[in-house]
Structure 1
Amino acid sequence: MLPTMLQRLYTASDLLDGFNPFDELGFTLTRDFEVFRQFVSDGGPVPSSLETRLEQARHDATIADALKRFLKVGRPLVGFMGGHTAKRNSPAFADIAKLAWSVAQDGYLIVTGGGPGVMEAAHVGVAFSRNGMDDLERALAKLAATPDYGNLDDLFENDGSLKKSKRKDVMAARDWLAAALDVRSAAPSTLPVRLAIPTWLYGAEPTMPFATHYAKYYQNSLREEALVNNSRAGIIYGRGGGGTLREIFQDVERNYYAKDAENFTPMIFFDRGAYWLRSAVYESGKVTSYGLKLDEAVAEILKFGICSRLSPDEAALRQFLDKMAFTDDVSVIKDVLARHLGVAKRNMSFALAGESFRIPTLRMNRA
């Protein structure tokens, strides 16, 4: 087990202790990977014994309590959600990093799911947010030289040992992590506070080291709830797949039951390639142009939920839907977030004071 008995969130040093950039298998020597290997051995998302289930539940409860205490920093949280497959040398990665750099200038605390891709990009942006954009550009250029970490699916033999066929991929993960640590060392020594909420369900992915605090859970369901519910200032969605879609529709559910426009949490779909505004193109069963068109579907679902409960006039309905944006305009994004800032701070203060009944979004009527 990792040191949750310290009653705090993890740091990158906790998770990456044991990493050896000079060992071909150096990525697998971290304490983080050791816990992941044991997690798989114990049954993964379906623990093999009641004892293991209880031990994991105790760990996750300790993390949840540490997270609540951490959030007493009082800064509004903006979530950056998106896929783990965005390569470091892609425009999507750089765009998210630059957007996070800009959003951080307004004092928001950035939270992600703690993985690679879009999640890492957001943390890189915030890590350099006290520097000029030139420093961020140099960091992105260095990371782009190690764009991905190989294919880390199906790593283990039945006895828990690494498959020999995965050695090349494990070496790629080592190089990916070494490059991240090198770039992190160039960031300001006192880093802006940033939160990552990862899970050992996806523990094969190497831990990106750019966050200052990690609330790492065993159970992904608890992790997803922590991500979506604590992003009270709004959520920005970069391009992603199944995991991102789950988060989007958790957020849709929360806003579907919003009591009024004030408590509708901003949903911002960001991608300069219009990923969320166009459908994918296929040839012979293969995707030749990527996209997940959600603008009309999400708006229609939310309109249905709002109108079926509240019967607003057109002006009132527009107040809800104006807090949802499909855009790559940074000024529009910052304006949407700013309009919700007061409500986000108020509801966070209620949550931290244990006054949950005063938070309208927690009293959802599922009739």
Structure 2
Amino acid sequence: MYHAHVPTMEIETLEAWDTNIATATSITGWVMQSVDLGSRLTDLERVDPRGALFLGCVLPDDTVDDLRDRGALVFPQLPALPFNAYRPLLYRPADLYDALLGGEQYARTSDARIYAWATSMPDPTPLHATLAMSLHDHAISDALDELCADLDARRTVGIMGGHAVPRGSDAYVGAARLASRLSLAGYTVMTGGGPGAMEAANLGAHLAGQYAVLSHAIDTLSATPTYAGNETMWAATALEIRGSTRATGRSIGVPTWYYGHEPTNVFPMQIAKYFSNALREDTLLQRCRGGLIYLPGAAGTVQEVFQAATSNYYSPDPEQVFPMIFVGARHWTTELPVWPLIEALGSGRTMGERLLLVDDVDEAADYLIERG
């Protein structure tokens, strides 16, 4: 039997509820996500809730029973989790580094506690834990969809590179300069959200066009060149810089607790952090329709190369084939000879027309900016 599509309205804040409920007689098709509706019981009694979906909302038990009896679907909050499985918004640095901002050690932050929870699971992971992580990642994807709906996909570019690049190194400075130029030219920069080249790119986008401020920030950060064994100072120094500077560009970080030993960097505008690395990789690469720039990296970066190459190779629409730019000819032809294989895959295809191998980050930036 055919059922007509019911338009969906997502309610993620009490303010959104109040704005939309005033004249409503039915909330069929509405999705309420992590909203405390305990003070809006009169509204709930007045409207028809058939087909409405409540995800992790705060409601009295008798109201939950009443809503279910009248045809609503109510999914309760999941207990004993260090995260909200129905999180309605992307993360901000203060959400992940809450304890650090309060003067405590990195191990007490939400970022570290969630990673500790995830790695404490036995093998195979219990059903309740996989369900919680899947619900969380679905919620993050939904929040990222909402953010990206207001962005031009053709002006969103990914910068990929090694997590082990030390602060203050030439590679770090180059990644920051690259992102600064692209962000100043109107691009939204996306990275894997971790340390190294990813942090440099998010920092460069954060301080787009502020080259003197960027240089000073890198000098300050270089006093703690790596997070390894010093996560608290590594993150605290970055939080001080973020808090004392003005953002002039836009970037998004997409990290994962799968690599939770690598702390999330604090410079993205917003952070879409996932449990599933496979979902995170696909989400990151598919949103960078303006192109992907590969700085020197190792296994993780190579994985991102071939995942994107597969999408480009099999794309049925030439307009959906995005540029893939490799920075560092020696790295990509000799140290990790990815380029010859990628070039061979692209031969005679639209993909091949959008491959570029350069030695300098400014050449990569010039290519995308001139391409528009």
- Give the TM bin, normalised by the shorter chain: 0.7 to 0.9
Q: Does 1:326 align with 2:357?
A: yes
Q: What secondary structure sits across from 1:19 in the alignment?
A: helix
| Equivalenced residues, count | 289
Q: What secondary structure sits across from 1:18 in the alignment?
A: helix
Give matches, 1:110-189, under 5 Å: 110-131=189-210, 133-150=211-228, 169=229, 172-188=230-246
Give matches, 1:78-117, under 5 Å: 78-117=157-196
Structure with greater Cα Rg: 2
* Unaligned runs of at least 5 residues, structure 2: 1-81
d(CA) in 2 for partners of 1:12 and 1:69?
Answer: 19
Q: Write the letter of the residue equivalent to 1:211.
A: P
- Residue in structure 1 matching 2:143, options 66, 70, 75: 66
Q: CA RMSD in A?
A: 2.1
Does the CA contact (< 8 Å) of 2:174 and 2:361 recur in 1? no
- Residue in structure 2 matching 1:270, options 327, 333, 343: 327
* Equivalent residue, structure 2, for 1:205: 262
* Unaligned runs of at least 5 residues, structure 1: 151-168, 280-290, 308-316, 342-367
* Equivalent residue, structure 2, for 1:8: 89
d(CA) in 2 for partners of 1:185 and 1:47?
Answer: 41
Does the CA contact (< 8 Å) of 2:159 and 2:201 recur in 1? yes
Q: Could you tell me the TM-score, scaled by structure 2's length?
A: 0.73
d(CA) in 2 for partners of 1:191 and 1:217?
Answer: 26
Q: Write the letter of the residue equivalent to 1:52.
A: A
Please give the per-residue CA displacement for 1:124-149, whole angstroms capped at 9, x wherever unaligned: 10111142x12111111111111112
* Equivalent residue, structure 1, for 2:63: none
Please give the per-residue CA displacement for 1:87-123, whole angstroms capped at 9, x wherever unaligned: 1121111111001111111111111111001100101
* Equivalent residue, structure 2, for 1:217: 274
Does the CA contact (< 8 Å) of 2:159 and 2:191 recur in 1? yes
Q: What secondary structure sits across from 2:117 in the alignment?
A: helix
Does the CA contact (< 8 Å) of 1:4 and 1:10 recur in 2? no
Give matches, 1:1-80, under 5 Å: 1-3=82-84, 5-19=86-100, 26-43=105-122, 48-75=125-152, 76-80=155-159
d(CA) in 2 for partners of 1:266 and 1:127?
Answer: 23
**How far did residue 235 of structure 1 move?**
0.5
d(CA) in 1 for partners of 2:177 and 2:366?
Answer: 17
Does the CA contact (< 8 Å) of 2:179 and 2:205 recur in 1? yes
Please give the per-residue CA displacement for 1:298-330, whole angstroms capped at 9, x wherever unaligned: 101222xxx4xxxxxxxxx5x642311111345
d(CA) in 2 for partners of 1:41 and 1:21?
Answer: 26
d(CA) in 2 for partners of 1:21 and 1:10?
Answer: 18
Q: Write the letter of the residue equivalent to 1:143.
A: L
**How far did residue 259 of structure 1 move?**
3.4
* Equivalent residue, structure 2, for 1:349: none
- Percent of aligned pairs sharing the same letter: 34
d(CA) in 2 for partners of 1:17 and 1:31?
Answer: 7
* Equivalent residue, structure 2, for 1:313: none
* Equivalent residue, structure 2, for 1:344: none
Does the CA contact (< 8 Å) of 1:4 and 1:63 recur in 2? no
* Equivalent residue, structure 2, for 1:165: none
d(CA) in 2 for partners of 1:184 and 1:256?
Answer: 39
Does the CA contact (< 8 Å) of 2:163 and 2:196 recur in 1? yes
d(CA) in 2 for partners of 1:320 and 1:60?
Answer: 31
d(CA) in 1 for partners of 2:179 and 2:249?
Answer: 12
**How far did residue 191 of structure 1 move?**
5.0
* Equivalent residue, structure 2, for 1:363: none
Distance 1:7 1:90, change over 3 A: same
Q: What secondary structure sits across from 1:142 in the alignment?
A: helix
Higher relative contact order at CA 8 Å, sep ≥6: structure 1 or structure 2? 1
**How far did residue 2 of structure 1 move?**
2.6
d(CA) in 1 for partners of 2:102 and 2:170?
Answer: 28
d(CA) in 2 for partners of 1:186 and 1:274?
Answer: 38
